[in-house]
C-alpha cells in the first residue's frame, strides 16, 4: 500500500497545518452576518422593499405634519374668529366709553 501526501516532509505538513485557515462554524458565521458593520453595509447596498418604502414615506409624512405650522391667514375659521374678536372688541370699547 502506498500513501501519497502533498508534503515532502513532516515539517512542511506541520507548517501548513498550523497556518491553515479553519472554516467558521455556523454560530460564528451568524455572528459575522449580524454584526453592526455587516448590517450597515447591507443597508447601503440593498434596495428597499415595498414595505420599507411605505414605512419610510409614512414616517416622513408624520414628521412633516407634526412639525409644520399652518398659516392662519389661509384658515377660514381663523378669519371668522378674527372678525368676531374685532367686533367684540369694538363693543367692549363702546361699553367702556359709556
Residues 12-30: pLDDT tens digits?
A: 989 988 898 888 889 989 9
Specify the pLDDT at position 91.
64
Check if the beta carbon of residue 46 is closer than 8 Å to that of residue 52.
Answer: no
Phi then psi for 94, rounded to 5 degrees? -65, -40
- Statement: residue 90 has pLDDT above 80: no
pTM across the whole model: 0.33
Specify the pLDDT at position 38.
92
Assign 3-state DSSP to the chain and report helix, strand, coil percentages, each to 5: 70, 0, 30
Amino acid at each position: 500500500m502506498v500513501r501519497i501526501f502533498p508534503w515532502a516532509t513532516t515539517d512542511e505538513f506541520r507548517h501548513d497545518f498550523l497556518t491553515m485557515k479553519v472554516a467558521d462554524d455556523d454560530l460564528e458565521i451568524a455572528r459575522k452576518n449580524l454584526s453592526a458593520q455587516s448590517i450597515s453595509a447591507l443597508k447601503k447596498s440593498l434596495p428597499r422593499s415595498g414595505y420599507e418604502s411605505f414605512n419610510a414615506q409614512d414616517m416622513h409624512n408624520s414628521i412633516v405634519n407634526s412639525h409644520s405650522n399652518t398659516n392662519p391667514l389661509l384658515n377660514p375659521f381663523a378669519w371668522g374668529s378674527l372678525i368676531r374678536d374685532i367686533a367684540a372688541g369694538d363693543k367692549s370699547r363702546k361699553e367702556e366709553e359709556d
